[in-house]
Every structure is written in C-alpha cells, then in structure tokens.
C-alpha cells in the first residue's frame, strides 16, 4: 500500500514550512506536494514556538508519522505505519535532535523534572515543570544558546537558576571572553549563579523518580526542583547514511541544495552547504539559514535555469531579558572589540587574513544591524586593527552608507585613513563557526506577550 507524490518534504519544522510556502508561492498543483512529519502539528516557527503554523493549503500533510527507512535509488520512504510513499523529488528537512545526557554517560533524562527543548512537545512539558517549580531551584546544564535563553526564562518566572558548564565562559563557540563576561555579569545581576569548569556526574532521585539533587564532577551537590539540559544537537541523517554523501555531520549538498543523489535535496540544520563567504562547506544550526536555504532549494527545483547559487551570509541572533544581539559571518581570526561594554551598545569585528569576516553587535538599532550585515557581506580589507577599533560601529555605518565599488573592497572605508596592520587584539578560533540553537522564546505562550515577535 502506498501513495505517490511529485514532491515530498521529509520533516515538519522550520525548513519544511518555508519550503512548503515557496512551493505554494510558485504554484504547486493540488495534491502534488506532501509533507511527512513525526510531529503531530503542522510546521511552525520553532524559535518562537508561536503556534503560527506555516502551512499553506493544498498540501498533503502526513502528521504524527515517523519515516523509518528511505531508499533513494527507488525514490521511496517507508513510514512506521508500514506505508510506502514515493516521490520524484525529495526535500530532506529532518533537522536535528537534542543530545541526551545518556550519550555522556549520565542517566536520568526520563525523570519527570528533567527537561530538554527542541520541539513543541518539549516546550509544553518544560512550561508544566516550570509552573510546578515556581519559587524553587533550577539547574541549567549547558552554557550555549538553549542554556542561556532557558536560564533567562526561568529567572523571569521566579525560579532560582544555577548554570553549570565545563567551559570557562558561556557561549564559548561564539562569544569572546570579553563578550561572555558582559552577559555573565548581566545574568549575575539577575540572580543567576554560574558553576563553570565542571560537568554533571549524576542525579540523586527521590522514591518517585524525581531528581532532587545534581552531583557535579568537582564534588558539588546542588539541590533542585528542576533541571534543563541544553548540551547540543545532532543532525538527523541516519535514514540516508550509506546512501548520500555526508559532511560536517550533515547531508552534503551543492549550491542548489542538491545532494549526491540528484532527486534528493537537503535543507535546514541537516544540510551541509557551500558558504561562499567562507569558501567552504558548513552546516549551520540557525533559523535564518533554514528559511533561506529551504526557499532556495524549491526555487532550484522549480526554476533551475533561473536560480543561481545560494549566496548566504550566516546570521544568528538572540534576545535575552532586555538584551538583544545579532551576529553575521564567521568568528575566526583576530577580534576587535568596540563600543561601551559598561553601557548598552557594543560589539566586535573578526578580521581573518586581512579581511573583515564577522561582526557582532549588542543593543543596535535596525540601521546599525543592517550596517554590520552589509559590511560583513562586503568582506573589506582591514589593514589597521587599532584604527578599526577606534572607529568601531561608525566604520560599518560609513561603509553601509557608501559601499565601496567591488574593485575597491580592499579599502577599509570611504572616509578613514589607510589602516596599517598592527598587533592582533585577540586571536579567536571558532571550532565550527556556528553556535547551538536555542531560545527562551520557546516559552512564547508563557510570557510571550511581553516580547517582540522574531
């Protein structure tokens, strides 16, 4: 028994939703397109978990259905219910799953007060546990995106938070020590405690199987009412291992998001695609990239002759408490900090091999964020780091007001003196150039009305 479609999207998250919208905008015929998702709801905006479903009409929606195997040679998918679904073109948008504590040798993930955050089911559960822990103590394991944003959310909801992570600072894959120190101080001012340089070793449970204390490798024991775990994600590639080429932990695709099998495209967190700005293949775990590469894949499928190469400047952001930052590009090379780290607006540029390749800004205006996005995409040559530091944000603003012609992008700007390379301010080498995804906005319906939509 089975069904056949021209286009099948496997996965029901952000990339799937945006791919479906793009198919719809381009006039896919009724019944041609099918989405298969393990989740019981239509694709939604994951960062906000806003229940703003992304699904257009005329699409066959196969929900609550896990695909258990794929045969790319025969162009078929087998669901857990035993149905075979065939396709002419498949878009793999299976995203990633949250890493579990058990994968690091600690048991207890299934305790009722231990929470993860990847999808709507997780978010609903987390809110329930948070409600029952009001006024109590939470330990947040992990200092990345999910950890930071969940910690803020817990504090807002009057829960005492201790963050535990093995690194020396929060957001180690993106933040410099100076930037991390700003956010940690801010969190401390909100009552968050940090236990750094150690990791979880075990849980103490009560007779009902609820975690009552967290034991750390350094010997500390923290009493808890709840635990939130944000220790990273792993792309869902297993259906295609041995059938498609994999790279950087994801499905390798070309500039049209097409995999090593011409009938299969991959988008979102599961896709490793060529990032022209970096001159290499990267897998990004961010919503902007998921949205844009999904649209690009559909354009490449439906109008191959018109769609060019996917030319993407990596972009990610977060909003925590009253703070808000954006990052563009890559965090490799020397770092130049700028602005007032004791005030509201500050940032950093990354300069690699003489070119500006990354920009970070906290507390910017719309115009300022647009300026750092533009300057990063232009990749201008930077000869004098001290001069760049002293010009700070005004450098990006000047370049964005009057971008140099492509032939002169090797100049540092239109108004400054020629900049001569001096000593590096701070060497920063990102291991993957990407950061883990996460968001307090997962609690949108808990306190979402206080916040802007993303």
Which chain residues interact with ligand FAD by CB under 6 A? 11-16, 36-39, 46-47, 66-67, 93-96, 117-118, 236, 239, 268-270, 285-288, 290, 316-318, 437-439, 442
CA geometry: angle at 136 spanning 131 and 140, to 5°? 85
Other Cβ atoms closer than 10 A to 55 = 18
How does DSSP classify residue 244?
A: B
- Residue tagged 């009724």 (tokens): 30
End-to-end Cα spacing for the chain: 42
Q: How many residues does the chain have?
A: 454
User: Is 67 or 399 the residue whose CB approaches ligand FAD more closely?
Assistant: 67
User: Is 39 or 387 the residue whose CB approaches ligand FAD more closely?
Assistant: 39
State the Cα–Cα distance between residues 253 and 399, nearest whole angstrom: 33
CB 354, min distance to ligand FAD, A: 29
CB 419, min distance to ligand FAD, A: 32
User: Is 316 or 338 the residue whose CB approaches ligand FAD more closely?
Assistant: 316
User: Is 15 or 180 the residue whose CB approaches ligand FAD more closely?
Assistant: 15
User: Is 396 or 442 the residue whose CB approaches ligand FAD more closely?
Assistant: 442
User: Is 67 or 356 the residue whose CB approaches ligand FAD more closely?
Assistant: 67
Return the structure tokens found at 242.
């041995």
What are the start-end ranges of the E strands in 46-111? Answer: 60-62, 67-71, 76-79, 84-92, 96-98
User: Is 82 or 405 the residue whose CB approaches ligand FAD more closely?
Assistant: 82
CB 171, min distance to ligand FAD, A: 13
Cβ partners under 8 Å of residue 29, min gap 6? 58
Handedness of CA 179, 180, 181, 185 (dihedral sign): positive
CB 38, min distance to ligand FAD, A: 4
Cβ partners under 8 Å of residue 410, min gap 6? 380, 381
CB 53, min distance to ligand FAD, A: 12
Other Cβ atoms closer than 10 A to 138 = 26
CB 314, min distance to ligand FAD, A: 9
CB 147, min distance to ligand FAD, A: 12
């Amino acid at each position: 028994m089975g069904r056949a479609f021209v286009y099948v999207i496997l996965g029901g998250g952000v990339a799937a939703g945006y791919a479906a919208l793009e198919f719809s905008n381009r006039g896919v015929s009724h019944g041609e397109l099918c989405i298969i998702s393990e989740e019981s709801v239509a694709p939604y905006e994951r960062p906000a978990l806003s229940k703003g479903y992304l699904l257009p009409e005329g699409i066959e929606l196969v929900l609550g259905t896990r695909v258990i195997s794929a045969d790319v040679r025969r162009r078929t998918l087998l669901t857990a219910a035993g149905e075979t679904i065939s396709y002419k073109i498949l878009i793999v948008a299976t995203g990633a799953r949250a890493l579990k504590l058990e994968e690091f040798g600690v048991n207890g993930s299934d305790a009722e007060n231990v929470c993860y955050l990847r999808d709507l089911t997780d978010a609903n559960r987390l809110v329930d546990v948070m409600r029952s822990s009001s006024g109590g103590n939470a330990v947040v394991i992990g200092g990345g995106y999910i950890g930071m944003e969940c910690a803020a959310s817990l504090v807002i909801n009057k829960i005492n938070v201790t963050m535990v992570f093995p690194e020396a600072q929060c957001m180690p894959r993106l933040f410099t020590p100076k930037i991390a120190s700003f956010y940690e101080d801010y969190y401390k001012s909100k009552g968050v405690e940090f236990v750094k340089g150690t990791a979880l070793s075990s849980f103490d449970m009560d007779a009902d199987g609820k975690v009552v204390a967290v034991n750390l490798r350094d010997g500390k024991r923290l009493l808890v009412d709840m635990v939130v775990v944000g220790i990273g994600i792993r792309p869902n590639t297993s259906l295609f291992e041995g059938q498609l080429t994999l790279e950087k932990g994801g499905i390798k695709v070309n500039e049209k998001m097409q995999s090593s099998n011409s009938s299969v495209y991959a988008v979102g967190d599961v896709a490793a695609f060529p990032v022209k700005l970096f001159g290499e293949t990267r897998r990004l775990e961010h919503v902007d990239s998921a949205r844009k590469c999904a649209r690009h894949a559909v354009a490449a499928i439906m109008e191959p002759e018109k769609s060019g190469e996917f030319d993407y400047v990596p972009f990610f952001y977060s909003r925590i408490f009253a703070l808000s930052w954006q990052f563009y590009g890559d965090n490799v090379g020397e770092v130049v900090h700028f602005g007032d780290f004791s005030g509201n607006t500050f940032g950093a540029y990354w300069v690699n091999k003489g070119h500006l390749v990354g920009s970070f800004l906290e507390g910017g205006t719309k115009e300022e964020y647009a300026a750092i996005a533009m300057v990063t995409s232009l990749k201008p040559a930077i000869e004098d780091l001290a001069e760049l530091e002293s010009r700070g944000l005004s450098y990006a603003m000047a370049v964005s007001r009057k971008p140099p012609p492509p032939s002169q992008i090797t100049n540092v700007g239109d108004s400054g003196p020629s900049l001569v390379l001096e000593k590096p301010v701070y060497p920063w080498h990102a291991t993957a150039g990407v950061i883990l995804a996460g968001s307090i906005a997962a609690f949108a319906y808990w306190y979402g009305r206080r916040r802007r939509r993303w």
